[in-house]
Chain A
Amino acid sequence: MSKYTDEELILLFQDGSNPNYAFNIIVQTYQQRVYQHVRRLVVDHDDANDVVQNTFIKAWKGLGNFRSEAKLFTWLYRIATNESMTFLKRKRIGTIFSMTSYENYLANKIEDSEYMDSDALLLKLQKAILSLPEKQRLVFNMRYYDELKYDEISEILGVTVGALKASYHHAVNKIEKYLKNH
């Protein structure tokens, strides 16, 4: 655990006295959570590695202008989400002429992935999550795994709390149906 608060780290970075030190602590503090969030979206470890690195590099570039009204963690989450979405969009365009969708490809990849817990129920749940529309998948992951509050998710995704609640509710029902039918 860092001896500094987020606000102190931001100040340390922004006043220019030791930006590298402050940034290293920020990376150390949040890298695992950012990685898990990204990995759940892009599935593959190598892809997640690229996206996470890009996320922190963007954070480095933007931290000088960061305003403390937002939480550092939600800000990092927002960058990571945008980077993941951009990555997935590019991948989907790449598979536009293939027989299966990119999400189906990811669902198949889950079973072959080297860095994956092989528990059958865990894998089945992941496949069910991958069958969801992108927005519902995002909301479900943030709420179910990261246990973020709707207010926080709203700040990250820029979507109203009401819409998020509806998305989560639909997601849960769809996953339940998937688990029953498969």
Chain B
Amino acid sequence: MKMRSDKEEKEEEITRGWPKKDPYVAPEGYFDELQGAISNKVSSGRHDSRFSRLLDANILPLKLAALVVILLGAVYLVVINKEKDQKVADSITFEAIENSDLLYELEEKMIVDTYSSSSVSGDQNLASNEPVVDYLIENNIEVSQILNEL
């Protein structure tokens, strides 16, 4: 015979005063109806969802019609989108291009701010200027001379 553990004995002691009766009651006559409801569902196959029943149903013409409608819809959407793109392309005129913002119209301050906030370090700027400085020294050209010519 199995020995009961201390834990089990303690559990039994605690639960002894608790009611054992199940508080959930079913409505009167429920189980007579339940049996019938289950039998009906099982024999008629009504337990499937509406969607799965529609998929399983033997309605080939309807399925084909739905497929044709979906395909036509997809073709229509492609054609409409192409026409839309063409209309946008046609609407762009030389005037519109002329009137659009160009780089020289940007404020000088904005360019300076952008340059100073860029990640390019000062050393890199010096390095890229070296050939220019060498050229000026070799050809004995003064910076003031360049400024005058500008």
Contacts and interface: CB of A to CB of B under 8 A. Distances in A.
Given A39-B24, A57-B47, A49 B11 contact: no
A165 interface: yes
Interface residues of B, number: 25
Given A24-B39, A27-B35, A165 B7 contact: yes
- Taking chain A's interface residues, is the majority helix, strand, or loop, or is none over half, making it mixed? helix
B82 to A, nearest CB: 42
Contacts of B103: none
A69 interface: no
Interface in B29-80: 30-31, 34-35, 37-39, 41-43, 47
Contacts of B23: 110, 116-117, 119, 122-123, 125-126
A14 B41 CA distance: 19
A53 B38 contact: yes
Nearest to B24: A39
A122 B35 contact: no
Nearest to B12: A172
B14 interface: yes
A78 interface: no
Interface of A: 20, 23-24, 27-28, 31-32, 35-36, 39-40, 43, 45, 48-49, 52-54, 56-57, 60, 110, 115-117, 119, 121-123, 125-126, 144-145, 165, 168-169, 172-173, 175-176, 179
Given A23-B39, A23-B42, 6 more contacts: A53-B38, A53-B47, A117-B21, A117-B23, A121-B19, A145-B22
11 contacts: A24-B39, A27-B38, A31-B31, A36-B22, A48-B24, A53-B47, A115-B26, A117-B23, A123-B23, A144-B20, A172-B11
